[in-house]
Structure 1
């Protein structure tokens, strides 16, 4: 081979190597399709709902308290017991008198002796008054007989009559004094009988407090016997058929509700139950969330609309439930995941996957329910869209699911 031919062969060899290197570089730096997550635009059942936690409660409860001060006997009712209207809930008896110390006891003994002495004096005065009354009556009878024989004047007879009546009145006053002294003696004896402050187990009058309604015992504030003051609560009663649910919704959600709206009750430990919105309170309140944000909440009351009895299924007052307020629902609704939407030039937009490339398309949205949004215009069922599009996804970019 000549030298010229050798140089030509080497040029072709270097050319081939250069072309190979260029091809390898072009292959290495070619655009790689972006890995994206996609979803299909589909039609189906759509529910616009609001989810919130609630608590069961009784519409009305009755706190039965002590009407007067006294000594409460042991309450035998337990929480959950059924009571009938008019049934005795608990009994009260008079409070025991306080025990006497040595000084007070000595004073009581002296008062007893003084009462006995007064009684004896009153009895002696009564005997004297009786004797004077008998003498006055005898004198009156004697003067009456003498007056009939005209031996004494009428004035003398009237004086004896007046003396007889006066002695009768004195006898009655003396008898009353005896009764007063006897009562004082009994009181002194009763005071002296109180030595340890313990109540008498026999002959004590009792006050029976009865149930105002038929229901169940929700709370028992007192169980053991002891002294109580007026107004002290003893038991709380309620009717389980009055069970309802209270949920505190954000004010922006509460304005979307109306009385009579359907509610699904979940998360109570059994199959979902049906409910209805009964009342939306006209006044809200401020509650601080776990993140420290002040929220305006509105109480919403829900009634059970299920044919099954919630109480018979185990639900009681103060139970936690999860509520789904059904604001709107329909079939055959075009919908997409909410995560596919983003704002572009002030409009809602999605990236549609067409021939392996991302194509930006504006859409008109309708209702939104959590992770799903209704599409009114801009998309067709069966199209593929990109969910959670990042900043790397742009118009015309090659993508791969």
Structure 2
């Protein structure tokens, strides 16, 4: 049988063995998390414009459907399809001979009645001294005076007829009421035209300067009117076929918000000297209401939307990402103005946010200013 000392030794060895086995069964310590690769930018303080965007429709300032004011045959056309016309330029000529004949008749009637008036006047002058001496009756003298007044009235009627005939003759030459661009000629020489016919001879649109009509949400009425009270508001137009952005000024704000759409109609005027804007064209409008001189600006890519609002990841001095809630004032040209939550000079993540949680170590690329980062995106 084993001795008492041997039994004690076995128990001690067993205890040591159990302790060693327990130590070997513990898991190894977790390794430190790997740094997530990210791109960053620096929040900047800069001037940030306050812009409103809308879709507008180009409209001619003046548009006229040219029609004849007299009946007759169209003899000549002095304009071609799409021509640029000047104010007062001769466009069409209608056969003037009927109007010339009417004017000749009116002049003849005027000459006849002028002669009759002069005869009546001579009779009044001749018999007035005689009547005063009582050699002719007062009734007969009154007849002479009445005949003269009637002849004078006839002359005035004839003069009015002559003026009307001259006006009608003037209508046989049709001139451009203003400078603009002619459309397609709708009536060719040789056709008969009627005064104020339903069909126009052609349409002229004034395209320089030109209007652009657009609408913005009714919530911006106060902002627009407040900005307009400080001075002229700058408007830019861009669109398909527009070579360069066109600059103009806000010219009109409607006096009521449309209750059907909750929008208010605005109108901008553009010089359009090169005729880049064309009536009926759709363009993208940018209305500048003002600017913030010291706004904190970050690239749009840095701002993410979460269940509790917008947030960004800020890189701390220990190169760890910290999620921070922010308030976005507005976004312009790929940049967001931050109203609350950031300060200028802070480093924020612009790419790689999907790998981050609050406190994740980051491996950052070269930091760029916010404006430069937005431009290279």
SS in 1 for 2:272: coil
Partner in structure 1 of residue 184 of structure 2: 220
Structure 2 distance, partners of 1:348, 1:391, is: 15
Match of residue 328, structure 1, among 276, 290, 300 = 290
Shift of 1:343: 5.1
Aligned length: 263
Aligned ranges 1:2-401 → 2 under 5 Å: 31-67=33-69, 70-78=72-80, 79-85=82-88, 87=90, 89-91=92-94, 208-211=172-175, 213-225=177-189, 226-228=191-193, 230-249=197-216, 256-258=223-225, 259=228, 260-266=232-238, 269=242, 272-281=245-254, 282-284=256-258, 298-304=264-270, 310-311=272-273, 313-315=274-276, 317-318=278-279, 321-342=283-304, 346-354=308-316, 355-369=318-332, 371-387=334-350, 390=353, 392-401=355-364
Shift of 1:210: 2.0
Cα distance change on mapping 1:92 and 1:387 into 2, 3 Å: farther
Cα distance change on mapping 1:261 and 1:207 into 2, 3 Å: closer
Q: TM-score, normalised by structure 1?
A: 0.52
- Alpha-carbon contact 2:76-2:92 (below 8 Å) kept: no
- Alpha-carbon contact 1:53-1:321 (below 8 Å) kept: yes
Structure 2 distance, partners of 1:217, 1:297, is: 32
- Alpha-carbon contact 1:92-1:207 (below 8 Å) kept: no
Partner in structure 1 of residue 116 of structure 2: none
- Alpha-carbon contact 2:56-2:285 (below 8 Å) kept: yes
- Alpha-carbon contact 1:245-1:303 (below 8 Å) kept: yes
Structural RMSD (CA): 4.3
* Deviations, residues 253-296 of structure 1 (Å, cap 9, x unaligned): 6774334322234567555543211113335498xxxxxxxx76
SS in 1 for 2:224: coil
Cα distance change on mapping 1:83 and 1:364 into 2, 3 Å: closer
More displaced stretch, 243-252 vs 34-43: 243-252
SS in 1 for 2:343: coil
- Alpha-carbon contact 2:85-2:176 (below 8 Å) kept: no
Shift of 1:40: 1.5
Shift of 1:364: 4.2
Structure 2 distance, partners of 1:343, 1:240, is: 45
Structure 1 distance, partners of 2:323, 2:187, is: 73
Cα distance change on mapping 1:316 and 1:334 into 2, 3 Å: closer
- Give unpaired runs (5+ residues) of structure 1: 1-14, 95-204, 287-294
SS in 2 for 1:214: coil
Structure 1 distance, partners of 2:73, 2:321, is: 84
Shift of 1:352: 0.9
- Give unpaired runs (5+ residues) of structure 2: 1-19, 98-168, 365-377
Cα distance change on mapping 1:249 and 1:232 into 2, 3 Å: same
- Alpha-carbon contact 1:60-1:242 (below 8 Å) kept: no
Instruction: Point out the structure with max Rg over C-alpha.
Output: 1
Structure 1 distance, partners of 2:220, 2:333, is: 13
